[in-house]
Amino acid sequence: MKKDIENRTDIELLVNTFYQRVEADDQLGFIFNQVAHVNWSVHLPAMYRFWENILLMTGTYEGNPMNLHKHLHHLAPLNAAHFDQWVLLFTNTVDDLFQGKIASRAKQHAKSIAEIMCTQIVEGRRKLS
């Protein structure tokens, strides 16, 4: 039986595994690597704080991910398929590593975040499946 997400170490495992999958993904990898030129040594710790704040309510994240994604959309237009793929990879990563109340909350939050971002960034947005 898999354990639930309980601490910073679990968050780091989730985030690292997820972004390894994103980097290798045909739909999303190029956005992170060729368009955004993500500095992983900066991005990953920010994502640890982001998810730690959401799931463990630590108050450790400050930032505006919406503005960053809007800027990214101007560099390379994002579409619904990008957000759907992001949710799919995130959900599969959570399911592969964890199970429990906080793991379920992580998946719900990921879907909600993607919905909000896509709605505000992509015109004529359909609801994520």
Q: Is residue 127 part of a domain?
A: no
Q: Is residue 75 part of a domain?
A: yes
pLDDT at position 125, please? 46
C-beta atoms surrounding 24 within 10 Å: 10
Q: What is the pLDDT of residues 21-55, one digit of tens each?
A: 999 999 999 998 888 888 999 999 999 999 999 99
Q: Is residue 24 part of a domain?
A: yes
pLDDT at position 123, please? 63
Say what the pTM is: 0.88
Q: Which domain holds residue 97?
A: 8-121
Burial of 25 (0-12, 13-18, 19+ CB in 10 A): middle
More confidently predicted of 16 and 58:
16
Which helix (H) or strand (E) covers residue 126, if one does?
Answer: none
Q: Is residue 1 part of a domain?
A: no
Q: Is residue 126 part of a domain?
A: no
Instruction: Identify the CA nearest to 43 among candidates 58, 22, 73.
Output: 22
Helical ranges in 25-75 per DSSP H = 29-30, 40-56, 65-75
C-beta contacts of 54-61 below 8 A and 24+ residues apart: 54/106, 54/109, 55/5, 55/11, 55/102, 55/105, 55/106, 55/109, 56/5, 56/7, 56/8, 56/11, 56/102
Domain with residue 42: its CATH number is 1.10.490.10
Number of domains in the chain: 1
Q: Is residue 28 part of a domain?
A: yes
Q: Is residue 35 part of a domain?
A: yes
Q: Is residue 109 part of a domain?
A: yes
Q: What is the pLDDT of residues 76-117, one digit of tens each?
A: 777 889 999 999 999 999 999 999 999 999 999 999 999 988
Mean pLDDT of the chain: 88
